[in-house]
A and B are shown apart, each in its own frame.
Chain A
Amino acid sequence: MNLIEELTYRELQQQTRRHFLKQCANGLGAIALGSLLGCGANSSTGQQKVLEDLVNKVPHFAPKAKRIIYLHMAGAPSQLELFDYKPDLSKLDGKDCPPSLLEGKKFAFIQGIPKMLGPQAEFKERGDSGMVVSDLLPHFSSMVDDVTLIKTMHTDEFNHAPAQLLLHTGSPRLGRPSMGSWVTYGLGSENENLPGYIVLVSGGNTPDAGKSVWGSGFLPSVYQGVQCRSEGDPVLYVGNPSGMSAKLRKQTIDAINGVNEKEYKTMGDPEILTRISQYEMAFKMQASVPEVMDIKDEPDYIHEMYGTSPGKTSFANNCLLARRLLEKGVRFVQLFDWGWDTHGVSERESLEVGLRNKCQQVDRPMAALVKDLKQRGLLDETLVVWGGEFGRTPMQENRGGRVWPFKGRDHHTEAFPVWMAGGGVKGGFTLGETDEIGYYPVKDRVHVHDLQATILHLMGYDHEKFTYFAQGRDFRLTDVSGKVIHKIIA
């Protein structure tokens, strides 16, 4: 048997070999494990065909979306200044909050009886669909006809970390796989030179829940999100040490693999062949990751459109990177932008200044991303999702019972917006209504698990059947609930 055949043999073995695969109803983990990070590199053999066949068989039904970009605004943007226009709330501005809204509720910081706070932005109807969006998002307002807006999301958690975990892993506690891990576990990657699940962070901090929001939980660690950075090594340790050229690195890896082949001949352990292919993959990543992460070669009009400046860490750069990664076949790109926690206790955290600044930072690039995907014909099969981990109260925050110099709102679990574009969702469609002050949904309430069920549905998975056996039982992203929101599907 030659090496290539051996590798194929090894791949086939993996399907029966690993304990976790036994449990995988669709047998897909085997493929994902191999191909996610590039065992499928030997496309000259029949193996690639086998992989493709299996990959194509994988979802439960035909997917509408093949890739996802999830834009998470960590800290939770205020829906009442962006998407949920409540003229009645202006009338209540400065008045005491009615006790009925406070009974049995828990807030992170509000104490006693707070005052109501009217919308701090102007709203208009936009596009042909007449979707109502505030002036803080002018670029977004120009593309509403490509967007489904859900105004009535709700969650169970009122603190950032658990709410972020619930949104991305289906559980407020640590230890579950993230949505991106589930998707790459299910669908593998379309690129052999890049990880299938990439995370980009802006705003100066990783999200409150830390790296667990892109962790693989009990899924094998190969499915965890790989954080790419705009400064320093884009992927940790992807850069050669200074003074070592790519050529010398290749020669080193050739020597390593040469010795490993001989070791394989002696020891006969197929794991050695995997290591050989992983070193080849590592070398390819060394070239492909910096290349895809380098946005200098983008034309000026693209930089203009996104508002990007190469070499910096910014949400705009990350949006452009997301598109580039997607074009290279990365399955799930997750952006986190930190700094949306507008409590009003400082200028940066205020609705008057902080929120406006954040909107300026994201409005143009996120609109550009959708438009750019559309003009490249990628939007149909790419799902773009935007949102925070919860919403904000119609009351002014009064932390410590004090009046604060800036306007701000506390955490609110009952109503928050998410918008989606492409990937099989309707354009120019608004789902759900909240009450006259934006406190409770009155129509089409959508739980976080429903959103997850819908995303999986668009990716071709029945969320109830997409399970993984761990810790003595089957787990799924949506835990024990979740309903697909069919109303938003085109």
Chain B
Amino acid sequence: MNPKVTYINPWRKPIIAAVSLLVFFAVIGILRVLPVEDKHHVLPESLLGPAVDFNADIRPIINKKCIACHGGVKKSGGLSFLFEEEALAVNESGKRAIVPGNTWKSELLSRITHHDPEFRMPLDADPLSNEEVKLFRRWINQGAPWKDHWAYIAPKAQEEPKVESEWVSNDIDKFVLQQLEEKGLPPNPRADKYTLIRRVSLDLTGLPPSISQVKAFVEDQSPNAFEKVVDDLLASPAYGERWAAMWMDLARYADSKGYEADRPRSIWKYRDWLIKAFNENIPFDQFVTEQLAGDLLPKPKDEHFIATAFHRNTMNNDEGGTDNEEFRNAALIDRVNTTWTVLQGTTMECVQCHSHPYDPIRHEDFFKSMAFFNQSADADIPSEAPVLKDFEEEEDLAALERIQDWVRGHCGGNAEHNPRYYEDLIRITEPKLHPHYFEQMDKGIAIPGTAVFKVSDSVYSRKKEVPFMGENRMMLRYQADTSIGVMQIRVDAKDGELIGSFPVKKRTKTVYDKKEKKDKTYTIRETISVPVKQVYGNRDLYLVLEGAEKSHTECFIEWVAFHQALPGEGQKGYDKVEKDFYELFNSDKKKSTTPIMVDLKDGYRRKTHVFEKGNWMVLGDVVKPGVPDKWNAFKPDWERDRLGLAQWIFSTKNPLTARVTVNRFWEQLFGLGIVETLEDFGSQGFAPTHPELLDWLALRFMHQHKWDVKSLLKEIVMSSTYQQASIMREDHREVDPRNQWLARGPRVRLTAEQVRDQALAVSGLLSRKMYGPSVMPEQPEGIWQVVYSGEFNWATSQGEDRHRRAIYTFWRRTSPYPSFISFDSPSREFCLPRRIATNTPLQALVTLNDPVYLEAAQALARRVLKDEDSPGLEQRIRRMYSFALLRGIQEEKMEDLTKLFHETQVYFRNDPEAICQFTGEDNEELAIWTVMANAIMNLDEFIMKG
């Protein structure tokens, strides 16, 4: 018999089927949670559940609930979530918080689910939700894949979204429209031509368009009419002024030094450099490189030095008794913070005292950055040296030329001491030894010098370890109160080797005192250069005064510098050249100076230490210039100096430079950045609303536009996104009140500068004079009632200087121009990466009552009254509105303004004396129309960019 083979179809037996299924899922389940490290390498992904994204799912929980105790500041229990290696490391308890793949061994999971609140994390807070715990579990099971914060990963190439719409003008619109479609928000139609030209003109030049520009645009029916307008605006000189104004907040530009005394500083050439640089459209990488390191470029020109004033806009403390080294360090720290804020959108200031609490930057990274800047010769001294001297009179310029000619003819091909050496010696004179480097030895007590140091019959001064390099001259700037005594220059000791000497000389100057009506004589400082014996190596320098016991001569020295003598001594004509040389240091002829960056030469260079807990007096390890690990690597062939830093910043591999920059320009046009927190792209900043667009723009800016700012701006303003009407629809208000998704055009309040410039422009008062020292337009009495004002007063400018663009207004840090402050401009003590526009009654008071705005109102009134085309009341109102707003008035607005006209007329008829008080002349029409203009120039639509 054949055995009967029975095939049992398991599916017919429900129990077996059920068991099999159970076993199958149990196996999968077990596999999934199996506490086996690195199982994610073996198991198929599908078995490990839906993928958890570290940046989207895990990091937000960590940042919100864990990092305060387990981050860069505190590392409770030895655990930090800042870096992957720290998160995976063994902690103080001997356990590991996260063991990839192993949920049993991962202490984190047991702590966040612990039943005992004394052990449960986060401590003293609500436990994590079930969903959060599940996320952590799944993530660990999947191998705890770590991902860097998006901003530290270089931008990726993005394909333009495939959206079909007539609304799309360029690729930008595709990214925007795709988001809008997802949100169900249709974009606004294009703004009318009047609105559009006013918007783009204010955006690109900071000024409203002229009436003829508006007319031309409105009448131009050609398809590229708008493009022509944009090209004209980009080519206008006003363009550079508008964008320099933006950059001046970043550069913390001011015409004073800050701190208590807040004395004036001459640095306006840097402002002029900015305007020219924007107008000439220097590529952005070059623009920044020159500002960071223009002095280190091969054969730097004057403008390269002037550009470096960017980082000489730090404050300088002239107050007595302050430690110059402390405030030099404060300036240095500010340079680091500003560089990182402006170019990397990174809050480096957090790292001064400890590792970054949220972002992957270590404490020592701050000082590695600082090391790039630490070789600059500036030292918080009142003269602000190093400065670049610009001789402005023919005679001085000719003298300088003669000296260089002489050197050319007599240096005998000396490569080092060439004409350039002598030009730098005369115009920059570095490195200098400053008074606080010297010790004044008074009865055995060493007292450091302050603004000057003293050498007298009873006091000698010394500077330890001067790096002599065989110079044969010592230059110094000093004054003496008698002409008795000989200054001895010695090395090693007070009675060490004599290397030079000179008889001291009292130099005086007599000027006529207008107040006292008589001549007055002052002792003044003189710069001299004396021959010294050549010495080499680090030797202590002593200055000792001999032969002044009876006269008690006192000399006060401002600085000392060693240099090479002019060549050709003894040859014919040398005396004349030496006289020229002396004159250039001592003549009263007009010259300007601008603080610049110059690096110390070998021997004078400083070491950079970590400041323990941020305290500059507690020095830690010595560090070399460098950048944080998470960023692109610093290439070996880049010098570790400011120029190398610039190369690193503009490497196409740098994840942040281009993103931060396009985002800043975007914000200037739309009022809101793609990343709203312009100043912080780190994990505590806002995520980008349009990450793909941001990367696309960043890459395009680098590779297609080649850092060309005008092309970038043109591309943005040519988009339909930018050109939309700014009307806020009901759905906007519900879905997108802040216009993050860009279903409407920008509607933003004008900046402080634009508020002023527009008022002057539409009234016809605006002076278009460019460049030069800052001016002082009218400001109320008593604003500069500050300590140490002394002779430094607000002297109201005359003539057209009263009506220059806001950018030329004198900016005193402790007392900035009041109407600008009301409109949210900063005091410029530090870099301000983003102005937040407020809306306050104090602003209303400025535009209603500030004499500057009343003057503008009156000028606008005259402009309308002169206009013969509009004699009637109605036409005049229309005309005035159009002069101001560059478009026609809506009919219903006429009512309010007509009513105001009649009320004003009644008022001045009832009180005719008020006319003269109000306008300064007996002209009723002018008075009425000034009130009208004052009203129109206070309308919301006038203060806003629509």
Is A487 interfacial (CB-CB < 8 Å)?
A: no
Binds B, one of A57-65, A124-132, A215-223, A374-382: A215-223
What is the chain A residue whose CB lies nearest that of B783?
A236
Is A56 interfacial (CB-CB < 8 Å)?
A: no
Question: Closest CB-CB distance, B945 to chain A, in whole Å?
Answer: 12
Is B890 interfacial (CB-CB < 8 Å)?
A: yes
Give the residues in chain A near B26, CB-CB below 8 Å.
Answer: none
Tell me whether A251 and B903 are in contact (CB under 8 A): yes
Give the residues in chain A near B493, CB-CB below 8 Å.
Answer: none
Question: Closest CB-CB distance, A280 to chain B, in whole Å?
Answer: 8
Is A88 interfacial (CB-CB < 8 Å)?
A: no
Contact of A278 among B330, B676, B843 (CB under 8 A): B843
Is B732 interfacial (CB-CB < 8 Å)?
A: yes
Give chain A interface residues in 248-294, CB to chain B under 8 Å.
Answer: 248-249, 251-256, 258-260, 262-264, 266-272, 274-276, 278-279, 281-282, 285-286
Bound Cα distance from A241 to B818, whole angstroms: 17
What is the chain A residue whose CB lies nearest that of B934?
A252
Contact of B445 among A112, A251, A254, A271 (CB under 8 A): A112
Tell me whether B676 and A19 are in contact (CB under 8 A): yes
Bound Cα distance from A469 to B918, whole angstroms: 47
Tell me whether B914 and A260 are in contact (CB under 8 A): no
Tell me whether B350 and A473 are in contact (CB under 8 A): yes
Contact of B726 among A161, A229, A267 (CB under 8 A): A267
Give the residues in chain A near B782, CB-CB below 8 Å.
Answer: 229, 231-232
What is the chain A residue whose CB lies nearest that of B330?
A173
Q: Quick one: given A231-B782, A251-B903, A263-B941, are A236 and B917 in contact (CB under 8 Å)?
A: no
Q: Mark A135-163, 1 if CB is under 8 A from B, else 0.
A: 00000000000000000000000111100
Question: Closest CB-CB distance, B749 to chain A, in whole Å?
Answer: 8
Bound Cα distance from A279 to B322, whole angstroms: 46
Give the residues in chain A near B737, CB-CB below 8 Å.
Answer: 13, 17, 270
Bound Cα distance from A160 to B262, whole angstroms: 13
Tell me whether A215 and B780 are in contact (CB under 8 A): no
Q: Quick one: given A247-B907, A271-B839, are A237 and B447 in contact (CB under 8 Å)?
A: no
In this complex, the interface size class of chain B, counting residues with CB under 8 Å from chain A, is: 35 or more
Is B258 interfacial (CB-CB < 8 Å)?
A: yes
Tell me whether B939 and A222 are in contact (CB under 8 A): no
Question: Closest CB-CB distance, B851 to chain A, in whole Å?
Answer: 7
Tell me whether B827 and A212 are in contact (CB under 8 A): yes
Give the residues in chain B near A271, CB-CB below 8 Å.
Answer: 747, 749, 839, 940, 944
Contact of A112 among B323, B442, B676, B897 (CB under 8 A): B442
Tell me whether B931 and A248 are in contact (CB under 8 A): yes
Tell me whether B900 and A206 are in contact (CB under 8 A): no
Tell me whether B349 and A472 are in contact (CB under 8 A): yes
Tell me whether A471 and B347 are in contact (CB under 8 A): yes
Q: Quick one: given A272-B940, A274-B839, are A248 and B904 in contact (CB under 8 Å)?
A: yes
Binds A, one of B146-154, B161-169, B570-578, B679-687: B679-687
Question: Closest CB-CB distance, A13 to chain B, in whole Å?
Answer: 6
Tell me whether A222 and B840 are in contact (CB under 8 A): yes
Tell me whether B780 and A236 are in contact (CB under 8 A): yes
Contact of A226 among B780, B842, B916, B934 (CB under 8 A): B842
Bound Cα distance from A207 to B848, whole angstroms: 30
Give the residue among B782, B836, B842 with the most A Cβ atoms within 10 A: B842
Is A481 interfacial (CB-CB < 8 Å)?
A: no
Is A305 interfacial (CB-CB < 8 Å)?
A: no
Tell me whether B320 and A279 are in contact (CB under 8 A): no
Tell me whether A248 and B321 are in contact (CB under 8 A): no
Contact of A267 among B747, B850, B897 (CB under 8 A): B747
Question: Closest CB-CB distance, A398 to chain B, in whole Å?
Answer: 13
Give the residues in chain A near B677, CB-CB below 8 Å.
Answer: 19
Contact of A37 among B738, B785, B841, B927 (CB under 8 A): B841
Q: Quick one: given A211-B815, A232-B782, are A285 and B260 in contact (CB under 8 Å)?
A: no
Is A43 interfacial (CB-CB < 8 Å)?
A: no
Tell me whether A279 and B844 are in contact (CB under 8 A): yes
Give chain B interface residues in 888-922, CB to chain A under 8 Å.
Answer: 890, 892-893, 895-897, 899-900, 903-904, 907, 911, 913-919
Question: Closest CB-CB distance, B83 to chain A, in whole Å?
Answer: 18
Question: Closest CB-CB distance, A63 to chain B, in whole Å?
Answer: 25
* Residue count of chain A within 8 Å CB distance of chain B: 87
Bound Cα distance from A145 to B686, whole angstroms: 54
Give the residues in chain A near B919, CB-CB below 8 Å.
Answer: 243
Give chain B interface residues in 735-776, CB to chain A under 8 Å.
Answer: 737-738, 747, 749
Bound Cα distance from A20 to B677, whole angstroms: 11
Q: Quick one: given A13-B737, A275-B839, are A206 and B786 in contact (CB under 8 Å)?
A: yes
Is B703 interfacial (CB-CB < 8 Å)?
A: no
Is A488 interfacial (CB-CB < 8 Å)?
A: no
Tell me whether B893 and A262 are in contact (CB under 8 A): yes
Tell me whether A233 and B347 are in contact (CB under 8 A): no
Tell me whether A243 and B916 are in contact (CB under 8 A): yes
Tell me whether B321 and A107 are in contact (CB under 8 A): yes
Tell me whether B447 and A111 are in contact (CB under 8 A): yes
Is B719 interfacial (CB-CB < 8 Å)?
A: no
Tell me whether B321 and A159 are in contact (CB under 8 A): yes
Tell me whether A242 and B917 are in contact (CB under 8 A): yes
What is the chain B residue whose CB lies nearest that of A75?
B787
Tell me whether B682 and A281 are in contact (CB under 8 A): no
Tell me whether B845 and A220 are in contact (CB under 8 A): no
Bound Cα distance from A363 to B349, whole angstroms: 44
Bound Cα distance from A233 to B892, whole angstroms: 36
Give the residues in chain A near B819, CB-CB below 8 Å.
Answer: 237
Question: Closest CB-CB distance, A166 to chain B, in whole Å?
Answer: 13
Contact of B780 among A160, A174, A233, A285 (CB under 8 A): A233
Question: Closest CB-CB distance, B59 to chain A, in whole Å?
Answer: 16
Question: Closest CB-CB distance, B175 to chain A, in whole Å?
Answer: 23
Tell me whether B900 and A251 are in contact (CB under 8 A): yes
Give the residues in chain A near B644, CB-CB below 8 Å.
Answer: none
Bound Cα distance from A256 to B881, whole angstroms: 12
Is A204 interfacial (CB-CB < 8 Å)?
A: yes
Is A38 interfacial (CB-CB < 8 Å)?
A: yes
Give the residues in chain A near B842, CB-CB below 8 Å.
Answer: 37, 226, 235-237, 282
Starting from the known contacts A109-B321, A271-B749, A471-B350, 12 additional A-B residue pairs (CB-CB under 8 Å) come to: A112-B447, A201-B785, A206-B815, A208-B787, A215-B827, A220-B838, A243-B915, A243-B927, A251-B907, A275-B943, A278-B840, A279-B841
A–B complex contacts, Cβ < 8 Å, 22 sampled: A159-B322, A174-B829, A205-B785, A206-B785, A221-B821, A237-B842, A240-B848, A248-B903, A252-B935, A259-B896, A260-B939, A262-B890, A263-B940, A264-B940, A268-B730, A270-B737, A271-B749, A274-B839, A278-B843, A338-B787, A472-B358, A472-B682
